[in-house]
Structure 1
Amino acid sequence: MTSDWAVPFAAVPRAAFLPERMWVWDIETQATELHDRRADLAAWTRAAHRDAPIVTQWDDGRHTGPAAGKLATSSASMPSVVLSMLRDLDVVDGARVLEIGTGTGWNAGLLCARLGDANVVTVEVDAQVAATARTALGRAGWRPEVICGDGAAGHRDRAPFDRVIATAGVRRVPYAWVEQTRPGGVVLAPWGTHYSNQEALVRLTVSEDGTASGPFLRAVEFMTLRGQRLDWERFSGHVPDHYESIPAVRGTDATLGELAGLAQRFACGLRMPRCAQVVNGHRVWLFDMDSTSWTLAEFPEEGAPLVRQSGSRRLWDEVLGVLDWWEREGSPEPHHFGLTVTPDGQSAWLGDAADAWTV
């Protein structure tokens, strides 16, 4: 921990922003464990100090009961992730910061301890989450401006900002964030595609011409901005009940690991726009977002997969083409890519921003 963040982290304890009932994510088991402060204070306290993500809300607040809900919709990120993102933000004394996704309020509290209340604005879409965070911040002695609203719109009334930091994943960087950042300022956000839940942290520097561009730093995974979530029900009519009667062909010797690998999924998302992938055990599904085209690849323990395709978009052929391109390019990791955002859209690039393609 660098010295400029050591004092804020000591002054703003994470536990002060956590609810009495929370679900701690175990990366090894890929499951959540409920901790209730009223039932076991010692276990709750240990969990609060773990370097693990904690789910604080399920199903946009509709969830009740001790069991985990269907969709995690608000959380407290891993402390190591919070620290690394604040370092990447690279603030200086007096910097004005807009945070998208208040959540528990802990990240906003850390920014206040570093920069002062008057320099921090945080936006939260969920009214209950915003109110709880505002209370927790006030109880801890911090009073940034907490806005309940759509974070995609930013907060024009306090612009321009020196830094914008998003703690929710985006599939498109809202141009409002670029407009509301001064030239030379930075937008830091987890970015990914609808292809998978795999994201990478992108650090964009805003230029005088109103564009923003910069590299991906490393792989991350965040809850998606509510207005950009993928509605999986849109694919409910893609696959007919009798899909198993559709003739299957032996695919090439692509392995399940190649299709499900972190770097491969990120690259496929960049090179296969408007496509969603689902890995379900030994099966890989691909869905086109603009038609009813779909692909199912079933992987046996040995040998080539059995592939079924339907529709005009041949998604299996596309994914094999991307994997071949990825290998020819030297198997790049997410941090080898970059992103450019303009008023007209966004484009990705590998190594050189001049050779960008639309995403």
Structure 2
Amino acid sequence: MNLPDTSRHRRALAARLIAQGHLKSPAWKAAVEAVPRELFLSSGVFLPEEATGLWRPITPDGMDPEQWTALAYSDQSLVTQLDGRLTPDQADSAVSGFPTSSSTLPATVVGMLEALDVEDGQNAAEIGTGTGYSTALMCHRLGEDSVTSIEVDPRVAERADASLETAGYSTWTVTGDGLLGNPRRAPYDRIIATCAVRRIPYTWIRQTRPGGIILATVGPGSWSYGTGLAKLTVKDDGTAEGRIIGPSSFMPARSQAVVPVSGDLAACTAYADTERKAIIEPDRLNEWMPAFLAQLAAPGQLVRAVAGGGQETVYLFDTSRESFAALTADAGEWTVRQGGPLAIWDAIEGAVAAWRDAGEPDISAVRVEVSPHAHVYWIGGQQMATPNRSYWIGDNPALRWEHRHQPLTT
């Protein structure tokens, strides 16, 4: 299929991104205007059908060329794979499924690339190749020999590599678990992840030069929202420090995707240790910052269920699924039942209350430090210094969370 020249669409996309405040530098503007996004959608896309909840496959061969080009340059994320296997060119009709790969909203892609603060001559790694579009933008900006892109799904990686070759970029594409990085091409000046992770893998810090930047979406829990874009600078002592620069949402890293809690949730939460009136309503967790704080305080899963009579129950489980909280409403008043070694709702209420008392700061107030032993998040505090390093001491212990972990050895 011969597609029309898309140079005017690329220029229009760049102009929109500039007007929206996402595209700021001439070098990235040149990349957006040079890289044809449609080349990275050759297998088609899935569009959601709101009425049915299904996904409708659209391919370039089955659509008017001008309409296809307009879709390719639209301001939306375009799903390119369902359930880790199905692509649009393999489906004849609308199908059900869960998105596992996509071409991310251009504003998000470009905004993250701008935040990466790259400089000429730097060596960069991308975790999650996806369609390869963002990889191509990085190749245009830094040179194809300065970009390494790692994709866990062999079929996604194969399609992306072919698209990159078609676009004229013979870069370093690697099939493997991006959480392990790629030590053969290290050290890197910049690492960017196009998937969400529960924590920044320490392997990324080990593979980044001191002074280098890591940019990734983090969420200690396994929620589909309430995650933040962490920007960290690697330090000489082998730690990394920075902050959450804004809300962000990406598909989770494939190895960290969690099977939702299923079965009889009422039976799973039948034996509670305590029951009381909830101080904070669970609807507050519909807001991005409280949801992020809730995951810091009690990482795990959240499930909302509606009974036949229309009564909603909000279930929370910790990552081990040994502790739970179940909230139900009666005449507008919420009751929470909790069981297991961790009082999940107590921890969440404490975090949200402390944040509220601090004036409800934005998610960009959250600072992060990663060491071989732990992730530490905090809000507020003052900077202290020793001869070898500077660090922050939080004013309010209720606004400080430490998640200890075992470092990877790879």
| TM-score normalized by the length of structure 2 | 0.79
1:115 alignment partner in structure 2? 142
1:207 alignment partner in structure 2? 235
Question: Which stretch of the first structure deviates more once superposed, 106-115 or 186-195?
Answer: 186-195
- Aligned mates of 1:247, 1:176 — CA distance in 2: 40
- Aligned mates of 2:252, 2:290 — CA distance in 1: 20
Please say if residues 25 and 54 of structure 1, whose CA atoms lie closer than 8 Å, have aligned partners that are also in contact: no
1:294-339 deviation per Cα after TM superposition (whole angstroms, max 9, x unaligned): 2221346x52124333444332333222221221122122211021
Judging changes above 3 Å, is the alpha-carbon distance between structure 1 residues 291 and 106 closer, same or farther for their aligned structure 2 residues?
Answer: closer
**Counterpart mapping for 1:94-113 below 5 A:** 94-113=121-140
2:290 alignment partner in structure 1? 264
Q: 2:35 aligns with which of 3, 12, 16?
A: 12
Judging changes above 3 Å, is the alpha-carbon distance between structure 1 residues 17 and 62 closer, same or farther for their aligned structure 2 residues?
Answer: closer
1:40 alignment partner in structure 2? 63
2:16 alignment partner in structure 1? none
Which residue identity is paired with 2:369?
T
Judging changes above 3 Å, is the alpha-carbon distance between structure 1 residues 337 and 247 closer, same or farther for their aligned structure 2 residues?
Answer: closer
Matched, 1:357 2:384: no
Judging changes above 3 Å, is the alpha-carbon distance between structure 1 residues 246 and 291 closer, same or farther for their aligned structure 2 residues?
Answer: closer
2:372 alignment partner in structure 1? 343
- Aligned mates of 2:362, 2:86 — CA distance in 1: 38
Counting matched residue pairs gives 354
Q: Does the residue aligned with 1:7 lie in a helix, a strand or coil?
A: helix
- What residue ranges of structure 2 are gaps of 5+ in the alignment? 1-22, 307-311, 382-391, 395-399, 404-410
Which residue identity is paired with 1:3?
P
Deviation at 1:94, TM superposition (A): 0.9
- Aligned mates of 2:84, 2:30 — CA distance in 1: 34
Deviation at 1:60, TM superposition (A): 1.1
2:177 alignment partner in structure 1? 150
- What residue ranges of structure 1 are gaps of 5+ in the alignment? none
Deviation at 1:291, TM superposition (A): 4.5
Matched, 1:329 2:358: yes
Q: Does the residue aligned with 1:232 lie in a helix, a strand or coil?
A: coil
- Aligned mates of 2:283, 2:264 — CA distance in 1: 28
Deviation at 1:284, TM superposition (A): 1.6
Deviation at 1:150, TM superposition (A): 0.8
- Aligned mates of 2:208, 2:49 — CA distance in 1: 36
1:333-356 deviation per Cα after TM superposition (whole angstroms, max 9, x unaligned): 221102111111211111343335
Deviation at 1:170, TM superposition (A): 0.5
Which residue identity is paired with 1:58?
L
Q: 1:228 aligns with which of 256, 262, 265?
A: 256
Deviation at 1:43, TM superposition (A): 3.6
Judging changes above 3 Å, is the alpha-carbon distance between structure 1 residues 316 and 149 closer, same or farther for their aligned structure 2 residues?
Answer: same
2:325 alignment partner in structure 1? 295
Matched, 1:251 2:277: yes
Please say if residues 237 and 292 of structure 1, whose CA atoms lie closer than 8 Å, have aligned partners that are also in contact: no
Deviation at 1:247, TM superposition (A): 11
Please say if residues 227 and 288 of structure 2, whose CA atoms lie closer than 8 Å, have aligned partners that are also in contact: no
1:189-210 deviation per Cα after TM superposition (whole angstroms, max 9, x unaligned): 0111225222111100000011
- Aligned mates of 1:47, 1:100 — CA distance in 2: 26
- Aligned mates of 1:259, 1:213 — CA distance in 2: 27
2:76 alignment partner in structure 1? 52
1:129-158 deviation per Cα after TM superposition (whole angstroms, max 9, x unaligned): 111001000001011100011101111111
Judging changes above 3 Å, is the alpha-carbon distance between structure 1 residues 346 and 158 closer, same or farther for their aligned structure 2 residues?
Answer: same
1:91-137 deviation per Cα after TM superposition (whole angstroms, max 9, x unaligned): 11111101110000111100111111110110001111111001000
Matched, 1:276 2:298: no
Q: Percent identity?
A: 33
Q: Does the residue aligned with 1:209 lie in a helix, a strand or coil?
A: coil
Q: Does the residue aligned with 1:52 lie in a helix, a strand or coil?
A: coil
**Quick check: which has more Rg, 1 or 2?**
2
Q: Does the residue aligned with 1:61 lie in a helix, a strand or coil?
A: coil
| TM-score normalized by the length of structure 1 | 0.89
Q: Does the residue aligned with 1:103 lie in a helix, a strand or coil?
A: coil
Q: 2:85 aligns with which of 58, 61, 70?
A: 61
